[in-house]
Amino acid sequence: MTPTASSTASTAPGLGVLDDVVRSDSSLRRFLHGLPGVDQVGCEARAATLATRSVKTTSKAFAIDLAIRMVDLTTLEGQDTHGKVRALASKAMRPDPADPSCPPTAAVCVYPDMVATAKQTLGESGVHVAAVATAFPSGRAAMDIKLADTRDAVEAGADEIDMVIDRGAFLSGRYLDVYEEIVQVREACARPDGTSAHLKVIFETGELQTYDNVRRASWLAMMAGGHFIKTSTGKVQPAATLPVTLVMLEAVRDFREQTGRMVGVKPAGGIRSTKDAIKYLVMVNETCGEDWLDPDWFRFGASTLLNDLLMQRTKMTTGRYSGPDYFTLD
Amino acid sequence: MSRIDVRKTYKLYIGGQFPRSESGRSYVVNDAKGRLLANAARASRKDARDAVVAARAAFGGWSGRTAYNRAQVVYRVAEVLEGRREQFEAELRAAEGVSSGRARAYVDAAVDRLVWYAGWADKITQVVGNANPVAGPYFNLSTPEPSGVVAVVAPQGPLLGLVSVVAPLVVTGNTVVVIASEQHPLTAITLGEVMATSDLPGGVVNVLTGSQAEIAPWLASHMDVNGIDLTGVADPALAASLEVAAADNLKRVRRPAPDTDWLAEPGLDRMTHFLETKTVWHPIGV
Amino acid sequence: MSRTFEYAPAPESRAIVDIKPSYGLFVNGEFVDGTGTSFKTVNPATEEVLAEVAEASEADVDNAVRAARRAYDRVWSRMPGAERAKYLYRIARIIQERGRELAVLESIDNGKPIREARDVDVPTVAAHFFYYAGWADKLKYAGYGTTPLGVAGQVIPWNFPLLMLAWKIAPALACGNTVVLKPAETTPLTALLFAEICQQADLPPGVVNIVTGAGDTGRAIVSHPDVDKVAFTGSTEVGKAIARAVAGSQKRVTLELGGKAANIVFDDAPIDQAVEGIVNGIFFNQGHVCCAGSRLLVQESVADEVMARLKRRMATLRVGDPLDKNTDVGAINSAEQLAKIRELSEVGEAEGAERWSAPCDLPANGYWFAPTVFTGVSQAHRIAREEIFGPVLSVLTFRTPAEAVEKANNTPFGLSAGVWTDKGSRILSMANRLRAGVVWANTFNKFDPTSPFGGYKESGYGREGGRHGLEAYLKGADQ
C-alpha cells in the first residue's frame, strides 16, 4: 500500500467529528494550529510546583512499586549483544532477586534484531518486549524500509513497537504525511491472528522545540491511532522533561474527553532517580487522574532508573540506605 | 460723540462651551483700585457637577491620544496665547495693578511654561517609567498613566499661576475642572477662549469662577473625581475639610501651596502627583 | 494493589520554631512589657492559642515613636547610605539563614500552606531586603532626592505578615527613615521574630520598633504628631479613615488597599495555563490577597469549557493542614474573616448565583472554607462588587474585548487585572485600557522586589517595590 500525497488515510480511526480533520492537509493543519496554545513559562511553572509534592512512607512505597511496574527496561546501543539482552530480560522479570515481592517491569525495550532473544528469555512472564522500529532513532529511511522494520519486529514477537515520527516532515508542516506514516506503521503492527502490537509514537520532543509543537504532535499521533505517545528516543538532548510530559498528559486527558479513547504516555530518557520518577507519577495523578496510574497507560523509558528504584525500595523495607554493589547492572 | 464700547460677558468654560452659571448668579470683580471691571459668573454646585461630567467625557479621548499629539495641542495653546499677549497684559495690569513690564514678564513666563510642559508630554514616560528586571522569565514594564479627572483650586496668580497648575495635568492626559482665582477670575475665562481656539478638545479643561469655599467642597466630595489639587486654598481649615471629603473615594490630594513662586522652574512634581504607575507583566517564552 | 495514589501526611516539623508563652513590644532595640492589656494569637488551623501578645497603648506607641525619632536624629539619618545598606544586607542574609523557621512560624500563625510560606513569602522577603539594601547608597540616582521623611508609622495586614513587613521596612530604612510598625493582631509572631533578627543584625536601637495591637494601636500610630509618614496596607475602609485622620497635617501617606480584580480569559487563551492562572489568582493564600483575581471574566464562546476544566482542577486542590508540605489551600486566618466569607457566599446564593465548591474534607477544628466558585454572576451582584478576601471566585461572561474592559473597569477598585490571550496586540490593548496598577498578562499573582505594586482609584495610592517604591520615603527631587 503506497499512499500518494493526495490520498486520504486508508483507515478512518473512528473519531467522530475528528474524522473530517484528517481528510486533507489543510484541514489537519487548521485543526492542529487551532489547538489552544501552551505558554512556556506557565507550563514550566506548573510542572515545577507539582515537583514540590512530598511523597513519603506508604505513598512512597506505593509509588516505587508502581514505577517499577511501569519501567520499559531499555538497552539501545550499537554494542548490544544477545547476552546483554538476555541478562536485561532476566532482570526485568525479577528486578530484585533477593526480594520476590518486588514486581517485574512492564517491558524490555530493544532494537528489532534483539526481539527474538528477549522474547525467548521472557517467555510467558508477562513482561512485554518493545522494539524500536522505523529506522530508530533518526527515522530517516524510505517508508517501505520503516514498514519492513516494523513487520520484522512484530514477526519476531514484539508486543509493542516504538516508532519515531518524521520530525523533518512535522517541522516543515507536512502533517498529513506524518499522520499517514503513523497510520501505516500501525497497520504494519497487525499480526496474522488479527491482534496487533501496541504502537508507541516517539516525537523526539527535543527536536520539536516548542510545547505548541508537542501538543500538535500529540493530537496528530492520537488521531492516527497511536496507543502511546512517547517523548524521546533517548538519543537527543533534552529528552523527557516534566513540562513536556505535562503537555502530553494534558493532551491524552483532553483526547479522552473528546473521543472517549484512552492513550498512554511514555517519557523516555533522562529519568534516572526515584525522586524524578515520583515527580512524574504525581504529575500523572494530578493531571489525568488514577486511570492513567497503570503500566497500560504510563511507562518510563529508562535503563538506570530501575536500580535507583530498587535501592530506594530496599531502604523502605530495611530502614537503611543501600548501595549500588547490591544490585546487578543488568 | 465717542463710540460706546462692546463689553465682554465673562461666563464659565465647560465642555468647550461658554455657559452662564445655571444658577443665574454673578459677582462683581474689581480692578486693583476697586473699580468695577466686570461681573463674573458665580458657579454653583450644579455647574461643578456639569464640569465633572464634561471632564469625564473628555478623559478617554484625551488620555488615549498620542503623547506627541497632546504636546502639539498644548504647544498650540502657547502659540495662541502669544498671539493674544496684549490682551492678557492689559488684563493683568487691570486686575492686579502691575506695571507693563511685570505684566509682560508674566505673560512671557506663562507662554514659556506652556511650551515647557508641552515638551514633557512625550518624555515624562521615559523619565518616570521603568523596565523592571524581575527575577524570572517575565517582561515587566512600569509606565505612568493619568489619574483621570482632577479638580484644581487655582492660586491667585491670574495667568501664570493658573497655567502652572493646569498645564502639567493636561499634558499628561488628565482632564481638569479648575476653580479660578476668586479675586482674579477674568483672565481664566480669557484663557478659556485661548484653549477653545487651540485644538484642545472641549471638556479637557473646564473653568469655573466663583466662590472657592462654595464650589470646592462639591468637587472634593465628588465620587467621579480622581484627584484634587488644593494649591490655591489659603484657609487651612477649608483645606483640611476638603482633604477629609476627598478621602471618600481616596482622591489623590495635593496640599495647599498658595505662596509658590510661579516664576521659578517647576520640577516634575506637578505632573507625577496625578500620575498612576501601571506595571504590566508578561511571560517570556517560545 | 490499590490504584489510588494517596499522599501520606508530609508535615513540616514544628520543632524548628520556639514560640514563647508571651511577647512584649520591641521598642528601642529591646523587648519591653506593654502597659496595655494583652491579647491571644491563635493557630487558625487548630484554634490552639499560640501566645499572649502585648497590646500597645497610646503611651507605648508614644515611647516607640520617641525611640524612632531619637534613632532617626542621632544615628540613622546621619549614617552614610553605604553603611545603612550593610545592615539591610545583613538582615536579608539572616532571613535566608532562618528561612525555614520564619516559614513555619508564618504558616502556624497565619494558616497559609507551608509550601507557599517557604517558596513564596520568605524568599520574596529576603529578596526585598536585598534589593532595597542596594538602593541605600544610590538614592541620588533614583530621582526622588536623598532626604528621608523621618519617622514612618506603618500598619500592615495579616495576609502576608512578613512580606508586608518587608515591603514597608526595607525601603523606609534604605532611604534613612526609622519605623514604628504594627503587625496585624491575628499575625504578630513573625514580626516579633523579625525584631529578634534586627537584634542579631545589631541594627541600632530604635531604627525598627514593633508594636503589637489592634485598631486602637494603629490609630495611635497614624495620629501621632511626631510621625512624618504613614504607610498602610489593609482594607479600603480603614484606608479612608487614615486619609481623613491625616487631613490638614504634613504627614505623607501611602495606602495599599482592597481590590476586586478581573481575570479576563479570551477564547484563544493558552487554556491550561489560564486555568492554572485562575486557580492561582483566587486560591493562592486562601484568596486572602488584595490583588486576587476574584472576578473571572470569561469569553462566552469558551465559558463552558473553561468552567469544566476549572472545576476539574479545583477538585485536585488539597485543602487542610497548612504545615503539610502537600497542602495547596490552608486555613482561613480568623473566625471573623470566615464569618465574612460565609456571609458573602450566602448573599451570593440568595442573589441567585450558582454555587459550587470543590469536594474536600475540611478539618473539624480551625477555620476552613472550601474553594468555591459562583457562576451566573452579574455585575450587580454583591459578590461581583465587594471584596470577599477568601477562596471564592465569581464568574461573569463577556462577548467582546470592549465589553470585557467595561466590566473589568466597572468597580471603584483598581489594583490589578489579568488578561489571557495568545494575541500579542490584544494583550497590549487590554493592558492600556484596564484601569489597574498591575496587569498580569498570561500570568497572575507574580511579585518581585523590582516591580512596583499599588492601585488606582479606591485601591489606594503610592507604589511599593522597585525604584518607584523609594518615592514614598523621600522628600522628593524638588525639596
| Predicted complex ipTM | 0.97
Does domain C22-257+457-473 fall under CATH 3.40.605.10? My reply is: yes
Beta strands in C82-194 (DSSP E): 151-155, 178-182
Residue C362: helix, strand or coil by DSSP?
Answer: coil
Residues 6 or more apart in contact with residue C295 via CB below 8 angstroms: C260, C261, C262, C263, C384, C393, C394, C396, C408
d(CA A237, CA A233): 9
Nearest CA in chain C to A281: C5
Answer for the pair C392, C409: CB distance below 8 angstroms, yes or no: no
d(CA C331, CA C319): 8
| Residue ranges covered by each domain of chain A | 25-316
Please judge whether C247 and B241 are an interchain contact, meaning their C-beta atoms are less than 8 angstroms apart.
yes
Helix A242-259 to helix A274-287 angle (10° resolution) is 30
Which residue out of A62, A101, A257 would a mutagenesis test of the C interface target, given it has the greatest number of C Cβ atoms within 10 Å? A62
pLDDT of A8: 39
Nearest CA in chain B to C472: B273
Answer for the pair A166, A207: CB distance below 8 angstroms, yes or no: no
Please judge whether A41 and B286 are an interchain contact, meaning their C-beta atoms are less than 8 angstroms apart.
no
Neighbours of C84 (CB within 10 A): 25
Residues of chain B contacting residue C420, judged by C-beta atoms under 8 Å apart: none
What burial class does residue A115 get, using C-beta atoms within 10 Å of its C-beta: 0-12 exposed, 13-18 middle, 19+ buried? buried
- The greatest distance separating any two alpha carbons of chain B, rounded to the nearest whole angstrom, comes to 86
For residue A210, give the nearest of B283, B284, B286 by CB distance: B286
Tens digit of each residue's pLDDT (9 = 90 or more) over A138-161:
999 999 999 999 999 999 999 999
d(CA C422, CA A211): 14
**pLDDT tier for residue A7 given thresholds of 50, 70 and 90:** very low
Select from 3.40.605.10, 3.40.50.720, 3.30.420.40, 3.40.50.300 the CATH code of B26-283. 3.40.605.10
Cα pseudo-dihedral C196, C202, C204, C205, rounded to 10:
40
Please judge whether C451 and B248 are an interchain contact, meaning their C-beta atoms are less than 8 angstroms apart.
no
Q: Determine if the pTM surpasses 0.90.
A: yes
* CA–CA distances in Å: residue B89 to residues A247, B83, B103, B182, B274: 73, 12, 5, 19, 31
Q: Provide the shortest C-alpha distance from residue A104 to chain B (in Å).
A: 40
Pairing state between β A264-266 and C229-233:
unpaired
Which of B182, B206, B179, B177 minimizes the C-alpha distance to B192? B206
d(CA A178, CA A181): 5
Q: How would DSSP label each residue in C383-416?
A: HHHS---SSEEEEEEESSHHHHHHHHH-SS--SE
Neighboring chains of B (3 or more beta-carbon pairs < 8 A): A, C
Does domain C262-441 fall under CATH 3.40.309.10? My reply is: yes
d(CA C293, CA C438): 12
Residue A10 pLDDT > 60, yes or no?
no
pLDDT of A14: 67
Dihedrals φ, ψ of C416, to 5°? -150, 170
d(CA C465, CA C91): 18
Q: What integer is the mean pLDDT of A231-245?
A: 97
* A210 CB within 8 Å of a chain B CB: yes
Grid cell digits, residue C295: 472576578
pLDDT of B258: 86
d(CA C175, CA C152): 11
Answer for the pair C457, C413: CB distance below 8 angstroms, yes or no: yes
Grid cell digits, residue C446: 507574580
* A99 CB within 8 Å of a chain B CB: no
Cα-based angle B129, B134, B138 (whole degrees, multiple of 5): 95
Cα-based angle C170, C171, C177 (whole degrees, multiple of 5): 100
Please judge whether C10 and A290 are an interchain contact, meaning their C-beta atoms are less than 8 angstroms apart.
no
Please judge whether B281 and C443 are an interchain contact, meaning their C-beta atoms are less than 8 angstroms apart.
yes
pLDDT of B153: 98
| Residue ranges covered by each domain of chain C | 22-257+457-473, 262-441
Dihedrals φ, ψ of C37, to 5°? -80, 180
Give me the CATH code for the A25-316 domain, please.
3.20.20.70
Neighbours of B132 (CB within 10 A): 21
Grid cell digits, residue A278: 515520583
Nearest CA in chain B to C464: B277
Residue A191 pLDDT > 70, yes or no?
yes
Query: Which residue in the list A159, A162, A177, A276 is annotated as catalytic?
Result: A162
pLDDT in tens, chain B (286 residues): 789 999 999 999 999 999 999 999 999 999 999 999 999 999 999 999 999 999 999 999 999 999 999 999 999 999 999 999 999 999 999 999 999 999 999 999 999 999 999 999 999 999 999 999 999 999 999 999 999 999 999 999 899 999 999 999 999 999 999 999 999 999 999 999 999 999 999 999 999 999 999 999 999 999 999 999 999 999 999 999 999 999 999 999 999 998 999 999 999 999 999 999 999 999 999 9
d(CA C85, CA A72): 56
| Residue ranges covered by each domain of chain B | 26-283
Task: Kindly report the average pLDDT of chain A as a whole number.
Answer: 94
Q: Provide the shortest C-alpha distance from residue A158 to chain C (in Å).
A: 27
Is A230 considered catalytic here? yes
Please judge whether A42 and C1 are an interchain contact, meaning their C-beta atoms are less than 8 angstroms apart.
no
Neighboring chains of C (3 or more beta-carbon pairs < 8 A): A, B
Which of C238, C249, C234 minimizes the C-alpha distance to C216? C238
pLDDT in tens, chain C (479 residues): 455 899 999 999 999 999 999 999 999 999 999 998 999 999 999 999 999 999 999 999 999 999 999 999 999 999 999 999 999 999 999 999 999 999 999 999 999 999 999 999 999 999 999 999 999 999 999 999 999 999 999 999 999 999 999 999 999 999 999 999 999 999 999 999 999 999 999 999 999 999 999 999 999 999 999 999 999 999 999 999 999 999 999 999 999 999 999 999 999 999 999 999 999 999 999 999 999 999 999 999 999 999 999 999 999 999 999 999 999 999 999 999 999 999 999 999 999 999 999 999 999 999 999 999 999 999 999 999 999 999 999 999 999 999 999 999 999 999 999 999 999 999 999 999 999 999 999 999 999 999 999 999 999 999 999 999 999 999 998 76
* B267 CB within 8 Å of a chain A CB: no
Nearest CA in chain A to C270: A37
Residues of chain C contacting residue A57, judged by C-beta atoms under 8 Å apart: 8
For residue A33, the Cα-to-chain-centroid distance in whole angstroms is 24
Please judge whether A38 and C273 are an interchain contact, meaning their C-beta atoms are less than 8 angstroms apart.
yes
Catalytic positions of C, written as ranges: 256, 290
Q: What share of chain B is helix, strand, coil (3-state, %, to 5)?
A: 45, 20, 35
